[in-house]
Amino acid sequence: MIDRAAFDADASILCIRFRDSGSYFYFDVPEALFDGLCNAASAGAFFNDRIKDRFRCERDPERRRYRPD
Query: Rounded CA gap, 46 and 62, in Å?
Result: 26
65 Cβ contact list (under 8 Å, min separation 6): 20, 21, 22
pLDDT digits (tens, 9 = 90+) for 5-14: 999 999 999 9
8: in domain: yes
Please check whether residue 30 lies inside any domain of the structure. yes
Is the pTM for the entire model greater than 0.75?
A: yes
Whether 18 is in a domain gets the answer yes
For residue 55, give its domain range: 2-59
Give 9-46 pLDDT, tens digit per residue: 999 999 999 988 889 999 999 999 999 999 999 999 99
Q: Does some domain include residue 64?
A: no
Judge whether 11 lies within some domain.
yes
Q: Domain for residue 69, yes or no?
A: no
